[in-house]
Every structure is written in C-alpha cells, then in structure tokens.
C-alpha cells in the first residue's frame, strides 16, 4: 500500500497523507486536489474504492424555475459542464406553471439517491415560502447550495449576484446621461432579488438625485415580456424618460410598450435590462443591461457542493458577486427639456 500511495502522490503532486485522506473520504482536502488524486488513480490503473466509484457516477439535482428565460439555461449549461468535469451527472428539474412542483422534484431526487442539489432561484427566493423543505434536506445530511434569493433562515451556502448594487449602477448610468425621471419594473415584489433591486433603486435615486419620494415610479409585475409591457404603461404615464427592469425579458416588453406609443428607444425612452442573457446584444436596439457573473457563480456553486460531498464544510453564508454594467444602444442622453 505504501508504494501505491507513493506512486499516486507523485503523479498527483501531493503528499501521501493527502492521498490517504482522499481514499478514505476524510475532510480537509480541496475539490481541486481531490480531483487530482482521483485522476492519478485512474491514469495509473488503480481501481477506485467502492465509495469513490459511486461518486464518479453520482447524480446531482439541479432545480431551475424555467427554460423560457434564457438566463436559466445559461446557469444550467455551466453547472452541468462543471459537474461532468468531476464525474457527476446533473438531473435537470425545470418547473412550469401547473406542472411538477419543487417539492415533487425533491421527492424524486431523493428516491434516485442524488449526492446533492443545486437550486437556482428556487422557492427559497420567494419571501413568502416555507424554508422547512430546505432545513429537512440539511438535517438529513444532504449537501445543498442555493443561487440567488438569500435567506438567513436556511443554514446553507448561498451564491448571489449583488442585486442592490445592480440597480445603483443602472440609476447612476442613467443619471450620467441626464435622466431625472426614472422608473423601475423590478418583477414580482415578493421575491428577494426584486426586494434587493428595489432597495438599490431607492438608494441610487437618493444618492444621485436626492429623490426620496418614488410614488408611481416602481411598478411590480411578472418576470415576463407581458409583465414588462404592463409595467411600462403607468411608468410612461408618469413621464419617465428611462426605465430599469428586473430582467432582460421584461425589458423586451418595456421596449414594445414604448414603441406602441409611437416613441423611440433610446431617443425618447432609455431602457436598462438585467442579466445580460444570451442574444441581448442582438436585440433591436442592442440592450444596455446589468450582467450577472453567471459562469463564476455557477462554478463556485459546483465547487462548494463538491467540497461538502467530499466531507468538507462550506461557510453557511452568502457569497456575493459584483455585477457589471454593459452599455449598448438602448440608453442615450435624456430628451431635451426633460
């Protein structure tokens, strides 16, 4: 066994003690190092211990809310690819209105013996939802990681975009262009990302314009094209020359509403989206938006989950990623006189 450990350690570039910890499933080894040892094991022709053979073919649940919004397939693609690199297979679970619920998916995933679950904007993001389903998973020892929608009452690792800073960025950009009457279509108000975006919008309006009375300037609707279209109507009635949106999909609806009034984007009304979903650069006009760090957030979620599966313990806190303002052609200087 000594020779075997030495061979594996030399090939992996680690100590024999580290190899021993990996083979015996002990904590204290990073995901990257653990993978180096397992790769050396395979390359040298040694048979993996039964527990590690099961890990190589393990299943990971991946729950996302929908496929119609392209930001969620973007998360899924990176997460699935990263899991495959570590020998895991993602079981993609997509929710649809009136279809299978998140709780139904959880029951199915547990029956299939998944090694862990990653939630992307799941029910945890709904401030009115019961967190007990997640606490039960944690209590039974199943590793989980949640993306966006942080809740302090769920003792699990979270990976989030900084939604508050996102809207501060959007407001600052529009103020720099001379806009003073700015509206917000944040999505449904009960969702935690919407709550944070609204907070960021209020902070941005206060800091950049000294405006604290936002009556009529925040309209909550669905995270859909139709929701954006509906939100735009009262905001345009309020004389807004710029509108910030809770998603790129909503921004498409806002642009449609602006044009139906015979107005132009961005000459009459500037529009800022959120997500930087694939294809937003190809809209007419190309959409100015706030980019989530989808790749970085996804890779962090995967590495955190695998760390836990390997016996480590990730901090029960929220890792927050700073977004990026991507300026394209849907924003322009405010119309003269407004």
Q: Residue 240 belongs to a domain with what CATH number?
A: 3.40.50.2300
Residue with tokens 């009457």: 181
Which carries the bigger pLDDT value, residue 60 or residue 97?
60
Residue 306 has pLDDT above 50, yes or no: yes
> Cα–Cα distance between 58 and 158 in angstroms, integer?
22
- Domain that includes residue 267, residue range: 163-292
Q: How confident is the model at residue 57 (pLDDT cuts 50, 70, 90)?
A: very low
Could you write out the DSSP letters of every residue in 184-209? EE-S-TTBHHHHHHHHHHHHHHHHHH
Same domain, residue pair 223 and 205: yes
Residue 332 lies in a domain: no
Which carries the bigger pLDDT value, residue 87 or residue 221?
221
Contact residues for 17 (Cβ-Cβ < 8 A; gap 6+): none
81-109 pLDDT per residue, tens: 999 888 898 999 997 777 788 999 999 99
Q: Residue 50 belongs to a domain with what CATH number?
A: 1.10.260.40
DSSP letter for 286, please.
Answer: P
Domain end among 33, 54, 75: 54
Q: How confident is the model at residue 9 (pLDDT cuts 50, 70, 90)?
A: confident
Number of helices and strands (H, E) in the chain? Answer: 12, 11
Q: Among 218-222, 224-228, 309-313, 325-329, which is the least confidently predicted range?
A: 309-313
Residue 255 CA to chain centroid, in angstroms?
24
> Cα–Cα distance between 29 and 336 in angstroms, integer?
61
Same domain, residue pair 265 and 307: no
Do the Cβ atoms of 308 and 314 come closer than 8 Å? yes
What pLDDT score does 52 carry? 64
Same domain, residue pair 131 and 276: no
Contact residues for 98 (Cβ-Cβ < 8 A; gap 6+): none
Does the predicted model carry a pTM greater than 0.85?
no
């Amino acid at each position: 066994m000594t020779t075997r450990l030495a061979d594996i350690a030399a090939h992996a570039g680690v100590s024999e003690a580290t190899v021993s910890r990996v083979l015996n499933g002990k904590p204290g080894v990073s995901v990257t190092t653990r993978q180096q040892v397992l790769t050396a094991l395979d390359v040298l022709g040694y048979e993996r211990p039964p527990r590690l053979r099961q890990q190589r073919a393990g299943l990971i649940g991946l729950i996302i809310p929908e496929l119609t919004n392209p930001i969620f397939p973007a998360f899924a693609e990176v997460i699935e690819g990263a899991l495959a690199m570590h020998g895991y297979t993602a079981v993609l679970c997509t929710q649809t209105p009136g279809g299978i619920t998140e709780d139904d998916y959880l029951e199915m995933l547990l029956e299939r013996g998944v090694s862990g679950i990653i939630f992307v904007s799941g029910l945890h993001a709904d401030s009115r939802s019961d967190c007990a389903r997640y606490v039960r998973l944690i209590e039974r020892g199943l590793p989980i990681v949640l993306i966006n929608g942080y809740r302090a009452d769920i003792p699990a690792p979270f990976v989030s975009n900084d939604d508050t800073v996102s809207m501060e960025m959007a407001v600052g950009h529009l103020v720099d262009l001379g806009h003073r009457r700015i509206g917000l279509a944040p999505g449904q108000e009960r969702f935690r990302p919407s709550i944070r975006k609204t907070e960021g919008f209020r902070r941005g309006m206060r800091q950049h314009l000294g405006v604290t009375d936002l009556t009529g300037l925040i309209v909550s609707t669905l995270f859909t094209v139709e929701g954006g279209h509906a939100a735009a109507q009262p905001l345009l009635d309020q004389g807004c020359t710029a509108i910030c949106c809770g998603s790129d999909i909503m921004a498409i609806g806002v642009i449609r509403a602006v044009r139906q009034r015979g107005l132009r984007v961005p000459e009459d009304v500037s529009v800022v989206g959120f997500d930087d979903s694939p294809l937003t650069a190809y809209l007419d006009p190309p959409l100015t938006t706030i980019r989530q760090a989808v790749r970085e957030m996804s890779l962090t979620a995967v590495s955190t989950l695998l760390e836990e599966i390997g016996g480590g313990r990730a901090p029960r806190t929220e890792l927050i990623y700073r977004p990026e303002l991507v300026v394209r052609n849907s924003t322009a200087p405010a119309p003269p006189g407004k």
